[in-house]
Chain A
Amino acid sequence: MNALEVNGLTKVYPEFMLDKVSFCVPEGHVVGLIGRNGAGKSTTIKGILRLIAAEGTVCVFGKNMGEDEMAVKQLIGYVGGGFRYYPMNTLSAVRKAYAPFYQKWDQGKYEQFLAQFGLSERKKVKELSEGMKVKFALALALSHGAKLLIMDEPTSGLDPLSREEFCDIVLQLVREEGVSVLFSTHITSDLMRIADDIVYLSQGRLLAACPLTELLGKYQLARFATLAEATAAKAIGVKAVKAGYEGLLPRDMQISTNAAVTDATIDNVIVHLEKASEEGRYAEFN
């Protein structure tokens, strides 16, 4: 069963359009939502949570969000980055206001998370570090029996150690609690660490929605001495680098003898697909 199914999610702004985005988050999977700044990651998450009025359907564990929003939101834990709300209030005051909204609020579990994360309820939100704010948001989101965790760039602004800790927590939740996760990020090392699948957005359009290994296995990085060679090889998203030109080649493609080929990293895939998308070669790899 899919934890989340998004079909035809569309939002039109005067200068940006999220264009019929469809993907799913299989149960127990961690799905990374990636794309450059302004690609539509946050708009997609807001559309899923109905924070914006968007077209399209969203189903969580088979329940339609449009038909039963309140019941569906009981199943979702939302972490919009660090906890940015009520800076002058104590964690205790925020929790007291937050908990009554959830039928399955588990105070014991919440206290367990606080202890695990080293959080004190007596502290004010403004006194927490960025990493602690993310942990507090996680503690709230996970203490009401949420089965789907949706996070919008939770690791941006965190130092490498805190990011590592965050990834450990997410993996632990997936393994021990069976939680499914959708999280947006542009820190690709986090994706390599915890993501099973990738949803890749560019300029409001879906470029790829597939397992991470499939995306990485689809392309290889080719380096060419000249632009003419790169063009002749029909490399995707060719760009000049220090020593020649670089582009992606589908793995099953016959390789030119002049090209030096290596495995593509997720950064390589994003950079070159984005370049190709800007050049209008979207259809070739979609």
Chain B
Amino acid sequence: MLSLIRKELALCMHPTAFLFLFFAVLVFIPYYPYEVVFFFSCLSLFFCCMKARENGDIAFSCALPVKKEHIPLAKMLVVFGLQAVILLLVGSIGAVKGVVLPAEQYINQAGISANLVLVGNGAVLLGVFNLIFFPRYFKAPDKIGVPFVVGAIVVFLLISIFIVLRWVTPLYSITLNGLNSVNTGAKVLACLIGLLAYILLTMASCRISMRNFAKVDM
């Protein structure tokens, strides 16, 4: 498994997988739907899969002395690692923003502020994308477009829902919005719920993807 992960990192990563991690600094933009940052993470995954297809990576991997189900697992583990990094970066850079900017500038007028709730929202977005994208992709690894488009539509739909919630519910617009130091317990809880959803959705995604890939003929 470790060799497969190393191979993924050495031969399959598109530069955007790492470049788009820097988009976490977008949380410094005032009045911006920060959840979009997580969409870039999904987009980089699309580029990585394109690169893998161009390189014949899956056919190459299948001929190696590895269990077939480990091939999708290794690819997904690398992606989950990158997703963990983007969540961590958004949380950290959001916290830095809270320290360096005045409180009134920290409030986001276009969506939720760059606080722990944003990390929770991002985790839900990524978890849902994983559940939609990977099982479809590993059913037919040559067809990347449809799984990505379906995943992207659902991600933007969810982003819209988060923005609407920010404006129509006091929970999102008051309790969960603003600095982490205010209503900290509620924000931590929202973040944890998001992370738990991510773990459950991603585990389901892994299981279905590995099952689907076992049936794929190269």
**What residues make up the interface of A, taking CB atoms closer than 8 Å to B?**
46, 49-53, 69-71, 73-74, 78, 80, 84-89, 93-94, 96-98, 100-102
Give the contacts of B21-66 with A (CB-CB under 8 A).
Answer: 54-57, 59-60, 62-66
19 A-B residue pairings within 8 Å (CB atoms): A49-B62, A51-B59, A51-B63, A53-B214, A53-B215, A69-B65, A70-B66, A70-B67, A71-B65, A73-B66, A78-B63, A80-B59, A80-B63, A85-B56, A85-B60, A96-B10, A97-B6, A100-B2, A101-B64
Interface size of B by CB at 8 A reads 23
Whether B217 contacts A52 by the Cβ 8 Å rule is yes
CA distance A46 to B217 in the complex (A): 9
12 further contact pairs, Cβ within 8 A, besides A93-B11, A96-B10: A50-B68, A51-B59, A51-B218, A53-B215, A73-B63, A73-B66, A86-B60, A97-B6, A97-B7, A98-B64, A100-B2, A100-B3
Which of these, B10, B215, B217, contacts A51 with CB under 8 Å?
Answer: B217
Contact B57 A102 (CB under 8 A): no
Q: Give the residues in chain B near A86, CB-CB below 8 Å.
A: 11, 55-57, 60
Alpha-carbon gap, A80 to B56, bound state (A): 12
Q: Which residues of B contact A94 (CB under 8 A)?
A: 11
Q: Are A73 and B59 in contact (CB under 8 A)?
A: no
Question: Chain B interface (Cβ within 8 Å of chain A)?
Answer: 2-3, 6-7, 10-11, 54-57, 59-60, 62-68, 214-215, 217-218
Return the contact of A101 from the options B10, B11, B65 (Cβ within 8 A): B65
**B55 and A85 contacting across the interface, CB-CB below 8 Å:** yes
Contact present for B11 and A89 (CB under 8 Å): yes
The closest CB in chain B to the CB of A141 belongs to B63
Would you give the shortest CB distance from A219 to chain B, in whole angstroms? 36
**Chain A residues with CB under 8 A of B214:** 53
A52 engages B218 (CB within 8 Å): yes
Which residues on the A side are within 8 Å of B11 (C-beta)?
Answer: 86, 89, 93-94, 97
**Which residue of B is nearest A71, CB measured?**
B65
- Shortest beta-carbon distance from A132 to chain B in Å: 17
Chain A residues whose C-beta falls within 8 Å of the C-beta of B67 in the assembled complex: 69-70
B59 proximity list for chain A (CB < 8 A)? 51, 80, 85
In the complex formed, the residue of A with least CB distance to B7 is A97
* Chain B residue, CB-CB nearest to A89: B11
Q: Would you call A87 and B66 a contact (CB within 8 A)? A: no
| Docked pose: A51 CA to B58 CA in angstroms | 10
B190 to chain A, nearest CB (A): 41
Which single member of A51, A88, A89, A93 contacts B62 (CB below 8 Å)? A51
